[in-house]
Chain A
Amino acid sequence: MSASNTTTITSIGAPNRRNTELALLVFAVLIPVFAYANVGLAKNGSVPAGLLGYGVGLGLLAAVAHLLVRKFAPYADPLMLPIATLLNGLGLVLIWRLDQEPSLGAAMAPKQLMWSTVGVLLFIGVLVFLKDHRILQRYTYISMVLALALLVAPVFFPGVNGAKIWVTLPGIGSLQPGEFAKIVITVFFAGYLMVKRDALALASRRFMGLYLPRGRDLGPILVIWGISLLILVFETDLGTSLLFFGLFVIMLYVATERTSWIVFGLLLSAGGAVFVSTFEHHVKERVDNWLHPLALAPNGGVTETAQAMYAFGSGGIFGSGLGQGYSRLILGIAPKSDYILATVGEELGLAGLMAVLLLYGLLTERGIRTALAARDPFGKLLAIGLSGAFALQVFVVAGGVTGLIPLTGMTMPFMAQGGSSVIANWALVAILMRISDTARRPAPSPAPSPDAEATQVVRTQ
């Protein structure tokens, strides 16, 4: 660094790494294409007829997304798009593979491909139309209302499989507003906390070693969070409640930099967990299943939880190979949505499952890196909120399916069958990429300094 350089802002920023992204994207498309061929060969002994269409389709989506990233977010993180593409591509292959089992209901892969396309279009839309993520800050309170509306909506629709998390729109199908609420509520938290964070962190009374904030600062956020939790408990959507709660604690902690929030949060969550598991039959049942995963169902049959454990165990280290497992033993639509990881575990083995989990981990850490690099507090909070929500969702789903924690019934981002989930997660990645583009974009060159010219400083860079 030149001694005369009076500013830390230089015109030489991080390299934009768009070519890295392109190279990775090639792999992200090729791997699912090979996997697709693999399934066809294993199931029918021939390369599936749709291979070309599938490959071209996925490749085209990736290419268009990549080109538009080059144009509209040239400095965005280069790993996010390839990871999302790979996960989505693998998910499509697995769903198509499970479609081959007639016992698992109608074919879902074509629909999922359509929803993925919509997701990528939304991804592009966000990058094109959201020039700067700080614009979202303006919609803090609108987000609050929208998040509440999204959360309340399913109450007016009949529940599916014990959870009221669906909205049925005639002609379009079912939507899971919770997936979108996740993003919208993060926007609200980020906007609100950015404004109130000093008040929350400093204007507080000390009580039993904890700093308690003033009610008027914490009030609105606590109310929103409380209402959303109540609604979710009423809808018996545990996973999303847990996700929202974790999101809330993480964002408060980051905004205020006070560890006491974590203690506060953990206490609240412990209380909530005990309360819910005592009064909710649905939840109690899931806790029982978690404690005794291999116990037989009351009618003497094997439970879904046990079937998933058997799938994992039978997969072993290297798996049975794509198309050669028996995920169909987990009946219903579950293998394509909640339990899709069981198929990964059985057919790709421990090796494949760890690779997939690491991909999720990598995507999360790229998001957190974006939060670190972001220069504005709103961007930081938004990025950490979105990454945290993503990480929690992955943990809750994967932990639930593998029996680490009680099953809560959320979808594995990008992989699981379900339109709302795929679309919402593409939007989430788009916002993260927009923030990272802003964060990594080199600042404009400083105005030429007359002094520097006069003294003929030799730039060493």
Chain B
Amino acid sequence: MNKPLRRVAVFCGLLVLALLLRVNYVQFVQADQLSNDTHNRRVAINQYAQPRGDIVVDGKAVTGHTETNGSDFKYKRTYTDGPMWAPVTGHASQAYGTSFLEGVEDKFLTGDDDRLFFNRTIDLLTGKQRQGGNVVTTLNAKAQTAAFKGLGDKKGAVVALDPRTGAILAMASTPSYDPSGIAGYSNTDEKNWVALDKKNDPDDPSLNRALRQTYPPGSTFKLVTAAAALESGKVTDVDASTTSPDPYTLPGTTVPLKNEGHIQCKDTSLRNALRQSCNTVFGKLGVDVGLKGMVDEAEKFGFNKEQLIPVRADASNFDTKMSPDQVAQSSIGQFDTAATPLQMAMVASAIANNGVLMQPYEVDKLVAPNLSTISQTDPKELSKPLSPENAQKLQSMMETVVNDGTGKNAKIPGVRVGGKTGTAQHGINNDKAPYAWFVSYAMTDQGSPVAVAVVVEDGAANRDDISGGGLAAPIAQSVMEAVLNK
């Protein structure tokens, strides 16, 4: 019986070998994947085992932490002025993960980042608790407050940039939510989280309208069309008369493109067309520039591409395949054209910065727990949508809009302010309340320190009262004043 016994011995040996191979596979090959799996609660336990680093605005932390008892997680995130800063900070929740800056810089905030390896090692040797690094933002607390207060109960978003660097100065989105309410693991947190769900709250307060919502830009897109007309040489003198009929029949169709209200647009100059927001002039200009020229110009301003600031912003859209009549509609910001508030702020900032578009960013630097700077963001040029001369021409046209046109509500005494209003219609047969847009910049002797885009979507307001100049321009004005320190 010894021969089969030996074989059984080999068989049992193989069973053990199979087990050994399996545990090596699970604990060595698969280990990283399993230990970092999002459903592995140890990840979150580790994440909240020490206080997170802070997100800093103007030298003051807008985040904090408290110790919690009776849960796997020792520290809980707290937020100062949570709803106001939520579009910037996002949330760090023991139960529901992270978003926005909390998510993008998560490893740095928890102290897990490779760049903090040295600090971690020192902490380990000195027996100190591991600490997270701080994220210093470019935001301006006063501008953010002005934006958030300006939006008030209205639904909408504000983005303000420093055109010279691309630094984001304000980024507000309303209605907002308090990330403190979902930071923990309790039943209350769960209730708050469920309430935030779009299904339960049609206002979708956790949506970052500044980065993740695209709107038809309406007349504010005429800035891009004007830039394309200037860059392509279709228009050289902004005060010369353009050959444009009123109404303008969309090419290839019998549909007339009309102007809103009683304005004189026939053969008017580019400056006057922008001042009065003539659909006919810009529709025809877009067709004259042609699809390729329009697409090129729009993409130079940042359309059709996601922006990482470093939080991801949705791509704004300008169709690349259209018939001439669609190009005409797109050139006045209708049809499929859609832009995020960030995108329109970029348009204004490129014009204000004499034609140079800077890469927008919201993290100024990352600092280690011992306050040494680990990384610093250097302003970076993204593209040159305009020549300086053309940019200055456009500036003077935008200043006409504010001084003598639809944007009078944005005037700031003693400061050059340029702007453009927009009232974007949407819905089937334009039956929904239009969006009110205002994009603008302020200019001082040292160049332009601020460009703003404001969008207000207020379904409750009376349709006749909605206009970029009436609803959005005052908000832009207060944000610019906050930056200018007026």
Instruction: List the interface of chain A (C-beta within 8 A of B).
Output: 250, 253-255, 257, 294, 296, 302, 306, 309-310, 312-317, 326, 329, 345, 349-350, 353-354, 357-358, 360-361, 364-365, 368-369, 371-372, 377, 380-381, 384, 387-388, 391-392, 394-395, 398-399, 402-404
CB-based A-B contact count at 8 angstroms: 135
Residues of A within 8 A of B3 (CB): 257
Chain B residue nearest in CB terms to A319: B27
The 8 A CB mask of B396-427 against A (1 = contact, 0 = none) is 00000000000000000000000000000000
Whether the Cβ atoms of B28 and A364 lie closer than 8 Å is: no
21 sampled A-B residue pairs with Cβ under 8 A: A310-B37, A310-B39, A310-B40, A310-B41, A312-B34, A316-B28, A316-B31, A317-B31, A345-B26, A350-B24, A358-B16, A361-B13, A361-B16, A365-B12, A380-B1, A381-B1, A391-B12, A395-B18, A402-B26, A404-B18, A404-B22
Residues of A within 8 A of B9 (CB): 365, 368-369, 372
Residues of B within 8 A of A381 (CB): 1
Q: Which of A316, A329, A368 contacts B12 (CB 8 A)?
A: A368
Whether the Cβ atoms of A315 and B27 lie closer than 8 Å is: yes
Cα A398 to Cα B18 in complex, Å, equals: 10
Please tell me if B188 contacts chain A, counting CB pairs below 8 Å: no
Q: Which of A294, A350, A395 contacts B23 (CB 8 A)?
A: A350
Q: Which of B7, B8, B23, B37 contacts A357 (CB 8 A)?
A: B23
B246 to chain A minimum Cβ distance, whole angstroms, is: 59
Instruction: List the interface of chain B (C-beta within 8 A of A).
Output: 1-9, 11-13, 15-16, 18-20, 22-24, 26-28, 30-35, 37, 39-42, 45, 72
Query: Given A317-B27, A403-B22, is A253 in contact with B34 using a C-beta cutoff of 8 Å?
Result: no
The 6 closest A-B pairs by CB, nearest first: A313-B34, A361-B16, A350-B27, A310-B40, A314-B35, A404-B22
B127 to chain A minimum Cβ distance, whole angstroms, is: 14
Residues of A within 8 A of B32 (CB): 313
Cα A357 to Cα B23 in complex, Å, equals: 10
Residues of A within 8 A of B7 (CB): 253
Query: Given A296-B39, A314-B35, A380-B1, is A388 in contact with B23 using a C-beta cutoff of 8 Å?
Result: no
Residues of B within 8 A of A364 (CB): 12, 16
Interface of B is mostly: helix
Residues of A within 8 A of B27 (CB): 312-313, 315-317, 345, 349-350, 353
Q: Which of A255, A306, A314 contacts B1 (CB 8 A)?
A: A255
Query: Given A313-B35, A326-B45, is A253 in contact with B12 using a C-beta cutoff of 8 Å?
Result: no
Whether the Cβ atoms of B20 and A312 lie closer than 8 Å is: no
Whether the Cβ atoms of A384 and B8 lie closer than 8 Å is: yes
Residues of A within 8 A of B33 (CB): 313
Greatest chain A CB density within 10 A among B3, B39, B45 is at B39
Whether the Cβ atoms of A302 and B39 lie closer than 8 Å is: yes
Query: Given A296-B39, A326-B41, A364-B16, is A384 in contact with B26 using a C-beta cutoff of 8 Å?
Result: no
Whether the Cβ atoms of A257 and B1 lie closer than 8 Å is: yes
B24 to chain A minimum Cβ distance, whole angstroms, is: 7
Whether the Cβ atoms of B34 and A310 lie closer than 8 Å is: yes
A317 to chain B minimum Cβ distance, whole angstroms, is: 6
A411 to chain B minimum Cβ distance, whole angstroms, is: 16
Residues of A within 8 A of B13 (CB): 361, 365
Query: Given A296-B39, A329-B41, A357-B20, is A253 in contact with B31 using a C-beta cutoff of 8 Å?
Result: no
Whether the Cβ atoms of A371 and B5 lie closer than 8 Å is: yes
Whether the Cβ atoms of A372 and B2 lie closer than 8 Å is: yes
Whether the Cβ atoms of A403 and B35 lie closer than 8 Å is: no
Residues of A within 8 A of B16 (CB): 357-358, 360-361, 364, 391, 394-395
Whether the Cβ atoms of B1 and A377 lie closer than 8 Å is: yes
Residues of B within 8 A of A384 (CB): 5, 8
Cα A255 to Cα B39 in complex, Å, equals: 50
Whether the Cβ atoms of A402 and B12 lie closer than 8 Å is: no
Cα A312 to Cα B32 in complex, Å, equals: 11
B484 to chain A minimum Cβ distance, whole angstroms, is: 50
Chain B residue nearest in CB terms to A315: B27
Whether the Cβ atoms of A399 and B22 lie closer than 8 Å is: yes
Residues of B within 8 A of A392 (CB): 15
Residues of A within 8 A of B8 (CB): 250, 253-254, 368, 384, 388
Whether the Cβ atoms of B28 and A350 lie closer than 8 Å is: yes
Cα A357 to Cα B1 in complex, Å, equals: 28
A52 to chain B minimum Cβ distance, whole angstroms, is: 30
Query: Given A312-B27, A317-B27, A365-B13, is A398 in contact with B5 using a C-beta cutoff of 8 Å?
Result: no
Chain B residue nearest in CB terms to A326: B42
A256 to chain B minimum Cβ distance, whole angstroms, is: 8
Chain A residue nearest in CB terms to B7: A253
Whether the Cβ atoms of B22 and A313 lie closer than 8 Å is: no
Whether the Cβ atoms of A317 and B18 lie closer than 8 Å is: no
Q: Which of A254, A296, A349, A357 contacts B19 (CB 8 A)?
A: A357
Q: Which of A294, A372, A380, A395 contacts B15 (CB 8 A)?
A: A395
Chain B residue nearest in CB terms to A310: B40
Whether the Cβ atoms of A254 and B1 lie closer than 8 Å is: yes
Given contacts A312-B31, A372-B5, 20 further A-B contacts (CB under 8 A): A250-B11, A253-B4, A309-B30, A312-B34, A313-B26, A313-B34, A313-B35, A316-B27, A316-B35, A329-B42, A345-B26, A349-B27, A358-B16, A360-B16, A361-B12, A365-B12, A372-B9, A380-B1, A384-B8, A399-B22
Cα A294 to Cα B31 in complex, Å, equals: 13
